[in-house]
Amino acid sequence: MRPPSCSSHALVHIIPSVSVLETTAKRIELLGLTQDELREFLVALDEKAFRARQLHDAIHRRRITSFDEMTDLPKTLRRILSDRAVVTNTRIESMFLSTDGTRRFLLQLVDGSEVESVFMPQEHRHTICISSQVGCPLACGFCMTGVIGLKRNMTASEIVSQVVIVLNAVYGQGVEIPHRTNIVMMGMGEPLLNYDQVIKSVRLLADDGGLAIPRRRMTLSTAGIVPRIYDLANEKVRPRLAISLTAPNDEIRDRLFPINRKYPLSELMEACRRYPLGEREQLTFEYVMLDGVNDQDGHARELIRLLSGIRAKVNLIPHNPAPELPFLSSPMKRILAFQQILKEAGVHSFIRRPQGQDISAACGQLAARHQATA
């Protein structure tokens, strides 16, 4: 490996929108750059601006991760690129395959941090669940990621790299993505606490000339960072929104979500009411079923009142237990009774079948366990 040259440091100033983190490996990660930023980067290297389109196509549409394979670029340019840049530093550390086809990817980032992404094949669609932070600061009482705390935010490049790496591992590099591939930001981290990088990654994923994932196929899930929900409402390219609700009143939510003391339910639900929805769009409310905590008939009735006036669907998620977490899942009979009450009130709900439980890939189990014990 060549030692980093001084001029690669200068790139930080030439492209101010590129975060310092993306250059800590001294070679800039190109996967987080838009086509315009790629152009600036190439021009700074005295290269022709039109190469940006080729480079963008190779990286984002064909998902090529090594410059050697970009055979439509001149050899000299490929050599310059490998000296100054990488497509991504993210690499697969291990992959776990569940009996139901779910695959959990433990990924290593440039600084050795680990994050997890999950590929879930379903009958009518495939879903990739990606992380937005290394760890999470929110410490929700029923979530494993909360147990490890926040290590750092991920860069847009790192967020997008999960999608590229999982797609390449599952379908093969460059192979067209099946039409119904969904991206959910429901892995490690609170996406709205890493707002700018998350929004940038949504734009990169949605880019027509790149991965071209329609915005309606991307869902961002939040524990309820209210001011950022208002910001999200104003974005041009915005994913669908899911709220991790899991409690029908402040008393229960305060206990489960420390963030609820800062942004209580009245404020959260007001932000949801004001959230602009497309024609056939709904807000999703995720409700983790915790035995004896939030699963009684009265709680279902409170939930119905809370959601009144909101175009919503509810995902009832059986709790995935872990030795570190003090909760059990509600029994299926209770979940069905809870669902019945919602149904009678006209509230749409689905019971989420847990996937990948045997490989610790189910909701709330992502903790990159190496790291938890490091």
Would residue 176 show up in a list of annotated catalytic residues for this protein? no
Question: Nearer to ligand SAH by C-beta: 63 or 319?
Answer: 319
Q: Which residue's entry shows tokens 């433990």?
A: 106
Question: Nearer to ligand SAH by C-beta: 23 or 315?
Answer: 315
**What phi and psi, each to the nearest 5 degrees, are found at residue 194?**
-130, 50
363 binds ligand SAH (CB under 6 A): yes
Q: CA 104, CA 131: separation in Å to the nearest integer?
A: 12
Question: Cα–Cα distances in Å, from 174 out to 59, 61, 62, 65, 207?
Answer: 9, 7, 4, 10, 16
- In angstroms, what is the minimal distance from the CB of 295 to ligand SAH? 13
Q: CA 212, CA 276: separation in Å to the nearest integer?
A: 23
Would residue 363 show up in a list of annotated catalytic residues for this protein? yes
* Residue 309: exposure state from Cβ atoms within 10 A (0-12, 13-18, ≥19): exposed
Q: Which residue's entry shows tokens 């987080």?
A: 32
Structure token digits, residue 304: 């119905």
Site for ligand SAH in 130-149 (CB under 6 A): 142-143
Structure token digits, residue 117: 């992404």
Q: CA 109, CA 290: separation in Å to the nearest integer?
A: 34
330 binds ligand SAH (CB under 6 A): no
User: Nearest-CB residue to ligand SAH?
Assistant: 364
Span near ligand SAH by CB under 6 A; candidates 33-41, 57-65, 105-113, 314-322: 314-322
Q: CA 366, CA 345: separation in Å to the nearest integer?
A: 34
> Are the CB atoms for 291 and 335 separated by under 8 Å?
no
Among residues 364, 367, 368, 371, the one that binds ligand SAH under rule CB under 6 A: 364
- In angstroms, what is the minimal distance from the CB of 69 to ligand SAH? 34
- In angstroms, what is the minimal distance from the CB of 190 to ligand SAH? 4
Question: Nearer to ligand SAH by C-beta: 80 or 310?
Answer: 310
319 binds ligand SAH (CB under 6 A): yes
- The site string for ligand SAH over 171-190 (x = CB under 6 A, - otherwise) reads ---------------x---x
Site for ligand SAH in 220-279 (CB under 6 A): 221-223, 244, 246
> Are the CB atoms for 98 and 359 separated by under 8 Å?
yes
- In angstroms, what is the minimal distance from the CB of 329 to ligand SAH? 8
Number of residues that bind ligand SAH (CB under 6 A): 16
Span near ligand SAH by CB under 6 A; candidates 38-46, 67-75, 82-90, 216-224: 216-224
* Number of other residues whose CB lies within 10 A of the CB of residue 372: 15
Contacts of 201 (CB under 8 A, 6+ apart): 32, 156, 159, 160
Among residues 288, 314, 335, 368, the one that binds ligand SAH under rule CB under 6 A: 288
Of the residues 116, 158, 190, 286, only one is catalytic, namely 116
- Give the amino acid at 78: R
Residue numbers annotated as active site: 116, 363
Binding site for ligand SAH (CB under 6 A): 142-143, 186, 190, 221-223, 244, 246, 286, 288, 317, 319-320, 363-364
